Each structure stands twice: as structure tokens, then as C-alpha cells.
Amino acid sequence: MQNTLLITGGAGFIGSNFILEWFNKELESATTIVNVDALTYAGNLMNLLELAHHPLYRFEHADICEAEKMSALFEQYQPRAVVHFAAETHVDRSIVGPEAFLRTNVQGTFTLLQAAMKYWKALPAADRGLFRFLHVSTDEVYGSLGPEDPPFSETTPFQPNSPYSASKAASDHFVRSYYHTYGLPTLTTNCSNNYGPYHFPEKLIPLMIANALDEKPLPIYGDGKNVRDWLYVKDHCSAIRRVLAEGIVGETYNIGGCNELTNLQVVHTLCNILNTLAPRKRGSYEELITFVKDRPGHDRRYAINATKIERELGWKPAETFETGIRKTVQWYLDNRTWTDKVRNGSYRQWEALNYGQRA
Ligand code: NAD
Ligand code: TYD
């Protein structure tokens, strides 16, 4: 076994932040990072440009559904751990085209588990106890909360409501079963909504920033009172590093920011910051807010009880929503070419499809 992490989906939003943060924070570990990514519309090697010639970084253009390729990568790199981010992640896309979610999130995770297990079983006994398969999942598997319900804990029953969350729930169950049935040393994290640099502008926060700067409508689904618990992406990355280092195999850990906000509160906050940092020629950004047709099956509220990871692994977020969102808006203002480049032809098609039907 080598001092190597095999990261799937490392060219996406959280994966690329994780890899960049790893080289910032864990340099002394001299770990090699192998980024395995199919480069779907959501994957972007621009995010990792600064690592292109880093001696401890490798990129492998591969699809996690390809069994032989996955086995070959395990053989080649002999990783000490897998951190599995690769997924289809956008709820609205899962409503329009659920097949891709079944394929990557369920079939892909299964394929990766099979390849990991074959590799793990052949390891020397001493290494077998050290290997880890860390599966990155979402709080959306738990379903939707009422206004007075307690936040999701690790024992909250799964009640996924969208094809996205159903596919992630299925993948979580497969990971769990590989620990219980075969003893594969797995770890699972279920995290709330992330925000920060490199967030693809199909999701609420980067979409609202990009639209505002383009003087386009800010489309709020339904009444805008759906609640999400927002976590700055670098805090998610530090939580994953903690779980990888200290987590108990077979366990799941909820990760959250304790920042419950309605979508309208989030969008007003963004408008306020933009009004100061990049004022419009005339008027305020709030004037662009537009209510549009709701998302079918729209989960009302997510909230995370993150006391287990805090108590057992000593993790806490470093950013509040106020500090994290300021950094995020500033990043998008400083990196407008990044947003312009990722909003290519296929993005425009998606925009027309998703928002055209909500007019
Ligand atoms: P993302 O959509 O930004 O990136 C996904 C990455 O996976 C892309 O680089 C894409 O190219 C790659 N990918 C997709 N299909 C693939 C395949 N078949 N083979 C190989 N690579 C493939 O996603 P994200 O927001 O960074 O989310 C990463 C993980 O974290 C996902 O598993 C997601 O469910 C989970 N998660 C996300 C959030 C969030 O708020 N974004 C919150 C909790 C959990
Ligand atoms: P999103 O970023 O898609 O994350 P998720 O659905 O996985 O939580 O959406 C966050 C919230 O913002 C969700 O309640 C849906 C809402 N939303 C809008 O109101 N308008 C939009 O254009 C988008 C993309 C999302």
C-alpha cells in the first residue's frame, strides 16, 4: 500500500476544494493524490491548474462505472484510502433526467466498492486494517423536516424525496452493506448544503451571484421559504480530513454548519453584499428577485445535528455564514472569467430548459 489517496470527482466543486486544501494543509504528509474524474459538465480541470505540475498530484480521466479501469487504477496506485466524491449532484437535473443519477451514484459507487474490495482483500493483513473507503454523501437522504422537527442525526431514518437523494441513499446503503457483510473499512459522511469557490453556477448561491452581475432575474422557486443549512466548503473539507484520519470504521458522521436560512434570506444577503462590493448603476440587486414555479417535490427544510463529529472527532466549522458568504462573493467577483468559461453552450441549454419551463 502506498501513501496515496484515490479521490473520485476531484474536478468538481467540493473535490477540487478538497484537493487544493489538502496540499495547503497536509503538505507534510507527503501523500500523493490521484484524481479520478470523468469530466462531466460539472468537472473542470481549470480549478486545479496550479497543481498541473505538482510532483504529488496525478489526474486520471476515467468513469467510475468502468469496472476494469477502476480495478486497474487500484492496482497501479495501491492507495491507502479512497475519498469518493464523484456523483451527479443537481436535484433539478435529477428531475429532468434521473437515469444518469442511477448510473453514476448507484452503479458507479457499486463498481468502485467492488474494485476497492478486490484490492483490499489482496492487501497484506497489516495494511487491510489501515485502508479506508470514505463515501461523501448528503443530508438530503434524510428527507424533509417540518419547522419544529429536530435536526437530522445519524439515526434519522432515510426518506429521500428526489431522484438525486434516492440515488445517494442507495449508494449509502451499499457502502454500509460492504462494511457489515465483507468488513470493508468504510466511513460515510452526510453533509448539508455547501457554498464557496468553484461552485458550479447551476446551484442557488453561485447562480444568484452570476445572474445578479449579469443583470438577469434572480429566480426564487415557490415562496422562497425553503430552509437549507449552509456550510462553507473548506469546513466540509476539514471535516472529511478529520473523519479520514480519526473516524471509526463502519460509522457515519453528519456534517453541518448550524446556519439554517431560507432561500430568500440567502438571496437578500447576497444582494446586500453585492450592493456594497459591486453596486448597480441604478437601483439595488433586490429588484431582480423574481418568484418562479416551484421545484416538484421541493424539500421544505434541511437541518443537521453535527454533535457526533464535534464530540467524537473534535471538528467544528471555522466560518460563520457571514464570514463565508463574504469570501464567496469576493471570490466570484475576482474570478468572473471562471464563471464565464463554465457557462458554456451546454450550460445555456440547461438554463433554457430549467428556467423556460418555470416562467
Ligand atoms: P459536482 O457536481 O460539483 O462534481 C461532481 C464531480 O464528479 C465532477 O467533477 C464530475 O465530472 C465527476 N463525475 C460525475 N460522474 C462521474 C463518473 N461517472 N465518473 C467519474 N467522475 C464523475 O459535485 P459536488 O457538489 O462537488 O459534490 C461532491 C459530492 O459531495 C457528491 O457526492 C455530493 O452528493 C456530495 N455532497 C454535495 C453537497 C453540495 O452542497 N454540493 C453537499 C453534501 C454532499
Ligand atoms: P440547490 O442549490 O439546487 O441545492 P439543493 O436543492 O440540493 O438543496 O438549491 C438550494 C435551494 O434553492 C433549494 O431550496 C432550491 C432553491 N433554488 C431556487 O429557489 N432557485 C434556483 O434557481 C435554484 C437553482 C435553487
Q: Is residue 292 assigned to a domain? A: no
Cell of 19: 484537493
The confidence score (pLDDT) of residue 80 equals 98
Domain holding 190, by residue range, is 4-194+232-257+301-318
Q: What are 247-289's pLDDT values in tens digits?
A: 999 999 999 988 999 999 999 999 999 999 999 999 999 999 9
Separation of 240 CA from ligand 1 center, angstroms? 14
Q: Report the alpha-carbon distance of residue 298 to residue 220 in Å, rounded.
A: 12
Starting from the CA of residue 217, give the closest ligand: 2
Mean local confidence (pLDDT), 206-234 = 98
Residue 266 lies in a domain: no
Q: Supply the DSSP symbol for 2.
A: -
Q: Which three three-digit cell numbers place residue 239?
A: 471535516
Query: Tens of pLDDT along 157-196?
Result: 999 999 999 999 999 999 999 999 999 999 999 999 999 9
Question: 50: domain CATH number?
Answer: 3.40.50.720
- For residue 296, tell me if it sits in a domain: no
Residue 340 corresponds to which cell in the numbers above?
A: 464565464
If you measure from the C-alpha of residue 60 to the centroid of ligand 1, how many angstroms do you get, rounded to a whole number? 16
Query: What residues act catalytically?
Result: 139-140, 164
The answer, yes or no, to whether residue 28 has pLDDT greater than 90, is no
Cα→Cα distances 221→124, 229, 255, 333, Å: 53, 17, 26, 25
- Closest-lying ligand 1 atom to the alpha carbon of residue 14: 26
Q: Using 50, 70 and 90 to split pLDDT, how confident is the model at 206? A: very high
167 with 105: CB under 8 angstroms? yes
Q: Is the pTM of this model over 0.75?
A: yes
Domain assignment present for 137: yes
Q: Does some domain include residue 348?
A: no
The whole-number average pLDDT for the span 9-23 is 98
Find out whether the beta carbon of 350 lies less than 6 Å from any atom of ligand 2.
no
| 162 within domain boundaries | yes
The Cα 151–Cα 302 span in angstroms is 7
Contact 229 CB / ligand 1 (< 6 Å): no
40 lines ligand 1 (CB under 6 A): yes
* Amino acid in position 351: E
Cβ(92)–Cβ(221) under 8 Å? Answer: no
- Number of domain units in the chain: 1
What is the per-residue DSSP string for 42-71?
T--GGGGGGGTT-TTEEEEE--TT-HHHHH
Residue 261 near ligand 1, beta carbon < 6 Å: no
Whether residue 104 lies inside any domain: the answer is: yes
Instruction: Assess if residue 240 is contained within a domain.
Output: yes
